[in-house]
Chains A and B, each alone.
Chain A
Amino acid sequence: MIEFEAALLAIAGAFVLFAIVALYRVFAGPTDHDRVIAVNVMGTNTVIAIALVSGALDKPLFLDIALVYALLNFLLSIAFSKFNVEHGGVL
């Protein structure tokens, strides 16, 4: 049983590692849209890591945090794309 939880935690750590890898594109992206795509991928990986930690540690309340984080991540992308089209690349 302990091995199962450790394996799920290790996979959650792998997703955190992938989010850190995507952070390179946030620094080096040529345009703003590259940066927003990379931030979106980082948010998705964070939601997955929270869900896997919730499954591994048997804490169901963490799933609420994951749901709110997913909502905010989606709103960020939609709001940025609309704002950037209307105001012509302010950010």
Chain B
Amino acid sequence: MTPTEWAIIALALVGAFFGGVASIGIIRLPDIYTRAHAASKSDTLGAVLSIAAAAFAIQTDLATIKAVFLLVFMFLTNPTAAHAIARAAQDQGIEPWTTGDEEGKS
């Protein structure tokens, strides 16, 4: 593999790491607000890095422009969606998790 291909693989691997962090956060974190935090920040960074790797991997000019559009679009809409869901949860009166909630356990 050429050094350019190594760089593309490295970008995609870092993106996959952040995607894995987002999935672990979705599973392990205690309430809706912390899960929205994991989904918005970590998954957005993983998406942006991985789509940048795809944009470098595609050689066609028009396809590269499409991939960059997709990157900017994910960068804008993913935190907006998570914010809208968290705000809807707050409007419904779901209480945030605090450390006092776990005193009974373990």
A residues contacting B by CB (< 8 A) are: 1, 3-4, 7-8, 11, 14-15, 18-19, 21-22, 24-25, 31, 33-34, 36-38, 40-41, 44-45, 47-48, 51-52, 54-56, 58, 60, 63-64, 66-67, 70-71, 73-74, 77-78, 80-82, 84-85, 88-89
Contacts and interface: CB of A to CB of B under 8 A. Distances in A.
Classify the secondary structure of B's interface with A: helix
B36 A81 contact: no
Contacts, number: 168
Given A48-B47, A81-B81, 9 more contacts: A15-B19, A22-B26, A22-B27, A48-B46, A55-B8, A58-B59, A66-B70, A67-B69, A77-B85
Interface in B45-100: 46-47, 50-51, 53-60, 62-63, 66-67, 69-70, 73-74, 77-78, 80-82, 84-89, 91-92, 94
B66 A60 contact: yes
Contact of A56 (B24, B44, B57, B88): B57
Contact of B92 (A40, A48, A56, A85): A85
Contacts of A48: 15, 19, 46-47, 50-51
Contacts of A70: 70, 73-74, 77
Nearest to B25: A41
A84 B91 CA distance: 10
